[in-house]
C-alpha cells in the first residue's frame, strides 16, 4: 500500500470516528430532549386540569371597618416583608456555605 492509500485509509477512519462521536452526542441530546418533553407534557396536563377560581366580588365597607381593614393590610405588609427578609437570609446563608476550596 502506498503513502496515498494509507493517508486515504487514515482519513476514512478519522471521518468514521468523527461521525460516531457526532451520532453519540446526538443520541445524548435526544435522550435529554425526551426527558424534557415528558416533564413538559406532565406540566401541561397538570395545567389543563387546573380548576379555575372565580374571584369574589368587592364588598362595600363602612367607616367602622376601617380600623380592622388597615390592621389586616398592615399584617399582610409585614408578612410580605418577613418573607423577603427570610429569603435574603437563606440566600446569604447558601452563599456563606459555598466551599471555594473544592473547585
Residues 100 and 73 in one domain: yes
Report the number of distinct structural domains present in the chain: 2
Query: For residue 62, is it within any domain?
Result: no
pLDDT digits (tens, 9 = 90+) for 7-64: 999 999 999 999 999 999 999 999 999 999 999 999 999 888 877 778 888 877 777 8
For the full predicted model, state whether its pTM sits above 0.85: no
CA 102 vs CA 97, 98, 99: distances in Å: 12, 9, 6
Query: For residue 22, is it within any domain?
Result: yes
CA 55 vs CA 19, 48, 52, 58: distances in Å: 58, 19, 10, 9
Whether 36 contacts 44, CB under 8 Å: no
Residue with cell 374571584: 55
Give the three-state DSSP class for 69. helix
Residues 1 and 46 in one domain: yes
Query: For residue 58, is it within any domain?
Result: no
Amino acid at each position: 500500500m502506498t503513502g496515498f492509500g494509507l493517508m486515504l485509509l487514515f482519513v476514512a477512519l478519522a471521518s468514521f470516528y468523527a461521525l460516531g462521536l457526532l451520532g453519540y452526542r446526538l443520541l445524548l441530546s435526544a435522550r435529554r430532549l425526551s426527558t424534557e418533553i415528558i416533564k413538559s407534557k406532565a406540566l401541561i396536563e397538570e395545567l389543563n386540569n387546573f380548576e379555575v377560581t372565580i374571584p369574589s366580588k368587592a364588598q362595600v365597607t363602612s367607616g367602622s371597618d376601617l380600623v380592622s381593614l388597615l390592621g389586616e393590610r398592615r399584617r399582610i405588609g409585614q408578612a410580605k416583608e418577613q418573607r423577603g427578609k427570610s429569603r435574603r437570609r437563606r440566600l446569604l446563608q447558601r452563599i456563606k456555605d459555598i466551599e471555594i476550596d473544592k473547585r
